Amino acid sequence: MSLEVKVPAVGESITEVTIAQWLKKDGDRVEMDEVIAELESDKATFELPAEAAGILRIVAQEGDTVDVGAVICKIDQDGAAASAPSAPAAEAAPAAPAPATAAGAGEAVEMKVPTVGESITEVTIASWLKKDGDQVEMDEVIAELESDKATFELPAEAAGTLEIVAQEGDTVEIGGLLCRIVPGAGATKANAQANAKQEAANQAVAAKPAAAAPSGAQTYASGTPSPAAGKILAEKGINASDVQGTGRDGRITKEDAQNAQAKPAAQPAAAPAAKQEAAAPAGDRNQRREKMSSLRKTVARRLVQVKNETAMLTTFNEVDMKPIMDIRAKYKEKFKEVHEVGLGFMSFFTKACTVALKEWPAVNAQIDGNDMVFNDFVDVSIAVSSPKGLVVPVIRNAEQLTLDGIEKEVIRLAKKARDGKLSIEEMTGGTFTITNGGVFGSMMSTPIINAPQSAILGMHNIVQRPVAVNGQVEIRPMMYLALSYDHRIIDGRESVSFLVRVKELLEDPMRLLLGV
């Protein structure tokens, strides 16, 4: 029984595809869902999986342009290589053990995207830690998945051979298929032996006159363009050797060809100097395009949403940092010796905010529909810049922590953020946010509220400036503070009074110890 494999519908506006490469040869045995070819449209490259197990009979050759729905190949499902009347008996023999080999491999375990949070509907494959065809062990981490909130590890659900379905960078919905694991290492070895025998038979066929070989068959090497890419390069007059390929084994893809630029032609030696200067390029003008990560897209969407849906205002003040800097200079060594953690500015600011939030609870509240929700606890979100973007882990019940407790939490959460190991629980539920743009040199800014919270405090860099102190001009280390707030729930009196209270506590740190 022969199954016809047709070009699948790959997009609403795509009517035809080009066969970029056959990954299997005519007469090879293929397994169900095994990728047998790469198809190229004017927009992207797609993989063609086998729709059944059997012997491949290629109809359309590499480089051919085929309409969607047209037959591209056939698969003889009886699994007998001898079904081709012109094939010698010696060529059919190696393929005969294949059905038994496949049967002994065991049923493949399909691994799908697990449920990782109530509000998460899709994830992006950040990286595969194992390659296609590798042996994996039960519970071994094989991939990292990235949502719009955190990064998760994907453990293997069985031991066996890994068959990757979704590639790095792909976005897959919850429940979508990621990979398969074929149990048993022995089956892999048996398949490898069968493939080796089949390859030897294929080489014997290839040694015959060229008329017996498929007319369009070819092998892509590093730096070789696909048919579509070759056509584009020819139109541009660009040599393939001048283009860096990003496809499989260094192959030049259609996108590589579209992005390629011709090298400026060399000017004749006798040309006037003025013409040479006019023809000289004005420097590199390359562009680089990167796909936005799920985290970056979510941050962008939420920031715009906050700007559009809140009545956000910002009030400013300045703080004389000398008292805190004097305390740190005097006690930082002893503090680290006792608590095994450094004494930073963040603990002072966090503690000052927890005190001020208790006095002005609206700043610690949020709007839920037509209700205002007030919290009798303070969960402080700390904005952290990680390699994958801005994340905001939460210090729970910060009002109950001492300075060393806050410092330890800040260090723990910041390390997990840099390593991409923050959990969903560690990044949700904050009631107030602190962000420190001063570490990057920011002098003043208007931070955007971290929804559904109602306020955010922005710290900035410390600058030596002349200020009036008791009627005298002195040089003091000064910092600007900015409080952005939602005017729908926080009035001007509350926002200004909150910021003034924070200023008082920071300029007289003894108040934090005495609670006054």
**What is the rounded CA–CA span in Å between residue 318 and residue 442?**
14
Please indicate whether residue 491 is annotated as part of the active site: yes
More confident residue, 504 or 420: 504
Distances (CA, A) of 380 to 350, 385, 407: 7, 16, 13
- For the chain, the helix, strand and coil percentages under 3-state DSSP, each to the nearest 5: 35, 25, 40
DSSP letters for 456-486: EEEE--EEEEEEEETTEEEEEEEEEEEEEEE
Q: Which among 249, 326, 419, 487 is annotated as catalytic?
A: 487
Average pLDDT score, the chain = 81
pLDDT in tens, 441-456: 999 999 999 989 999 9
Instruction: Give the pLDDT score at 457.
Output: 97
pLDDT in tens, 233-266: 777 778 777 777 777 667 777 777 777 776 655 5
Quote the percentage of the chain above a pLDDT of 70: 79
**What is the rounded CA–CA span in Å between residue 210 and residue 26?**
15
Report the predicted TM-score, pTM, of the whole model to 2 decimal places: 0.53
**What is the rounded CA–CA span in Å between residue 241 and residue 223?**
6
Q: Which among 78, 170, 419, 491 is annotated as catalytic?
A: 491
Domains defined for the chain, CATH in brackets: 1-105+188-213 (2.40.50.100), 107-183 (2.40.50.100), 220-264 (4.10.320), 295-514 (3.30.559.10)
Instruction: Give the pLDDT score at 212.
Output: 39
Distances (CA, A) of 388 to 13, 151, 296, 458: 34, 10, 8, 21
Distances (CA, A) of 492 to 315, 362, 372: 9, 11, 17
Please indicate whether residue 487 is annotated as part of the active site: yes
In 145-225, which ranges are continuous DSSP H helix? Answer: 185-206
Instruction: Give the pLDDT score at 186.
Output: 45
